[in-house]
Amino acid sequence: MSRYADFHRRSIEDRDGFWREQAALIDWHKPPQTICDYSKPPFAKWFVGGETNLCHNAVDRHVAMRPEQSALIWVSTEVGQERVYNFRELHAEVQRMAACLLALGVKQGDRVLIYMPMIPEAAFAMLACARIGAIHSVVFGGFASNSLASRIDDATPTVVVSADAGSRSGKVVPYKPLLDEALRLSTHKPKTVLMVDRGLAPFERSSRDVDYATLREKHLNDKVPCAWLRATDPSYTLYTSGTTGKPKGVQRDTGGYAVALAASMKHIFQGKAGETFFSASDIGWVVGHSYIIYGPLIAGMATLMYEGLPVRPDAGIWWSLVEKYKVNLMFTAPTAVRVLKKHDESFIRGHDLGSLRALFLAGEPLDEPTATWIAKALGKPVIDNYWQTETGWPILTIANGIEKAKSKFGSPGFAMYGYDVKLLNEATGDELTGANQKGVLAVEGPLPPGCMQTVWGDDERFVKTYWTTVPGRMVYSTFDWGIRDEDGYYFILGRTDDVINVAGHRLGTREIEESISSHPAVAEVAVVGVADALKGQVAMAFAVVRDASLIADDAGKLKLEGEIMKTVDHGLGAVARPARVRFVTGLPKTRSGKLLRRAIQAVCEGRDPGDLTTIEDPTALQQIRDLV
């Protein structure tokens, strides 16, 4: 048995012994008495009896050892500013923010809703909440008023922390009018809004608004100690999409999350204190919580927080930051890499990337052509990983910190320690143990530390949504199809509800997308299943090409469409051939880079695409509407 296989086996068979060892990676005010209480499945309580604090582990414990070391590096190509905070300075700023929140009446267990752009004050606010034991709920900056109002009503925050505006592609995005409208719509009325005024957009002040700069001045020298929280106390809620309109708040604990992140930084990312971690995500998403704010800081690393696009001012901006700040580890989404793939490799090769050890990708399936391109362009290991808002850290990847293993492009890798991953037959619940058998990817309880405790305020929804969908078994469903090859590598084939049933043949959209992506002319592609009177469903593909001259006229479009059809025929068979390949200049995505496949499908079927407040470029969806 390989070293990693043995490591994983022990995490399942000697759960308490394994996680007791991992718990030593963080500081405890009181050590845990019980490692895992799973007396009421599927609810797992980790490190019961222990007391700790996320902010202490992320900031305070490093101040004594490395006060002058960089902790938070903020770069905004939107407003042309950069600022580096060392651990001593970060510690002071977090205490100032914590003192402000306490002065506004926030108590331990209260919720603080954070509606912020990617600015340092957003990080201070999250860490300050963790410091005083308040539960933060970060809502992606710029989210529409209706959606924001529903989250305000669900979280019932005491205080909202916000800013006048964000900036996207050089355009100011005012937040205050959106927030004011959300507060008008919401049933719950928070007492106070703490406003960070960046001077980007003038706004109307109301009686509930408090200026952060003014209040901060009053608390410049305040000392706010960390509140020692029970390991099982909630640290935050984060809303994720559900099948109903009601927002679904993923509730995370304190001790389990701290241990899970510390262990992942060691075993998966191999980050060391004093190094620099650059996650090109947003604090509004789970990656931003785990690997911009908490994970790197817990590991004693500097974390680079970036406000801007990967191609502005040019497609070399990320790599210039890697060179300037000697970034050791980088994390982004496959979509961002596909955007960069449209630009010349000289934007990468023109920079000294000697400090960079690896690029990690997550957020959606990584297709093989994209992985191959970026690995070759960087000359660095590219490591895919697969996880969810609900889990908080990777389910599938490669733990090079335990044993070196090769990446197989197209596969995120192996089941991570703590996750008892199974592939199950969706109809019978039987486990599929053979190679290349397609099943639902599920996890036997208990979920490991760091995963969601429950749905905020709705235990019943937690059980019903995640633990009852596989017949005859109480297992956590990821709602993703997967296969496992003969070497134990998993491959994700798309959502269980993204399966296309064409004349009785079940096809994953991911498989077709990967096949189309292998054509050298294709930069990006989205495939959706569209209702069809004859076949039940047909696959419809929307592709972005690398060279627009190829489709300058109808003859060029027809020629390329035919070539792509032949590529799919060759790779998957004629049954997987899409009904049409339509060419577009861009695909509709959220600001974090996720493709809005369901919105595309709805447009194709003449249905309402639903809430499009997170869409980056509305014209992309309109272009599809015009085509179909």
**DSSP secondary structure letters along 103-114:** HTT--TT-EEEE
Q: Which pLDDT value is given to residue 238?
A: 97
- Give the pLDDT of residue 608: 83
Mean pLDDT score, 360-383: 91
**pLDDT given for residue 244 in this prediction:** 52
**Predicted confidence band of residue 469 (pLDDT cuts 50, 70, 90):** very high
Sequence-ordered alpha helix ranges (H) in 220-275: 255-267
Among 286, 294, 229, smallest CA distance to 260 is for 294
Q: What is the pLDDT of residues 397-419, one digit of tens each?
A: 999 999 999 999 989 999 999 99
CA distance 560 to 570: 15
- The mean per-residue pLDDT over the stretch 449-462 comes to 98
> Which of 357-366, 458-467, 469-478 is least confident?
357-366
In single-letter form, the type of residue at position 418 comes to G
* 70/86 Cα distance (integer angstroms): 4
Residue % of the chain over a pLDDT of 70: 97
State the pLDDT at residue 93.
98
Average pLDDT, the chain: 93
- Which of 373, 371, 398 is closest to 386 using CA atoms? 398
Give the separation between CA 495 and CA 490, rounded to whole angstroms: 15
**How high is the pLDDT of residue 269?**
98
**Least confident segment among 170-174, 342-346, 605-609:** 605-609
pLDDT band of residue 499 (cuts 50, 70, 90) is: low
Q: Which residues contact 528 (CB under 8 A, 6 or more apart)?
A: 509, 539, 540, 542, 597, 598, 600, 601, 604
pLDDT bin (cut points 50, 70, 90) of residue 143 is confident
**Confidence grade of residue 10 (pLDDT, cut at 50, 70, 90):** very high
Q: Tens of pLDDT along 247-285?
A: 899 999 999 999 999 999 999 999 999 999 999 999 999
| pLDDT value at residue 164 | 98
Question: What top-level class would CATH report for the domain 90-222?
Answer: alpha beta
* Ordered DSSP codes for 357-417: -EEEE-SS---HHHHHHHHHHHTS-EEE-B--TTTSS-SEE--TTTS-----TT--BEEPT
Average pLDDT on 163-185 reads 95
CA 477 to chain centre: 18
Is the separation of the CB atoms in 378 and 353 below 8 Å? yes
Residue 40: band (very low, low, confident or very high) from pLDDT cuts 50, 70, 90: very high
Are 304 and 277 contacting, i.e. CB atoms less than 8 angstroms apart?
yes
Residue entry with tokens 């992606």: 140
pLDDT band for position 505 (cuts 50, 70, 90): low
**pLDDT for position 506:** 62
The helix/strand/coil state of 625 is: helix
In this model, does residue 205 exceed pLDDT 90?
yes
Average pLDDT rounded to a whole number, residues 426-447? 96
Query: pLDDT > 90: what percent of the chain?
Result: 81
Q: What is the pLDDT of residues 52-66, one digit of tens each?
A: 999 999 999 999 999
Specify the CATH number for 498-627; select among 3.30.70.20, 1.20.1070.10, 3.30.300.30, 1.10.260.40: 3.30.300.30
Rounded Cα gap, residues 442 and 422, in angstroms: 5
Q: Which residue has the higher pLDDT, 51 or 609?
A: 51
Model confidence band, residue 286 (pLDDT cutoffs 50, 70, 90) = very high
Give domain limits for the chain: 90-222, 498-627
**Amino acid code (one letter) for 244:** T
The pTM (predicted TM-score) of the whole model is 0.86
pLDDT band at residue 521 using 50, 70 and 90 as cut-offs = very high
Q: pLDDT tens digit string along 98-107?
A: 999 999 999 9
Q: What is the pLDDT of residue 624?
A: 85
CA dist 131 and 129 (Å) reads 5
**Tens digits of residue pLDDT in 289-322:** 999 999 999 999 999 999 999 999 999 999 999 9
Cβ atoms 190, 137 nearer than 8 A: no
Q: What sign does the CA torsion over 52, 54, 55, 60 have?
A: positive
What is the band of 367 on the pLDDT scale with cuts at 50, 70, 90? confident
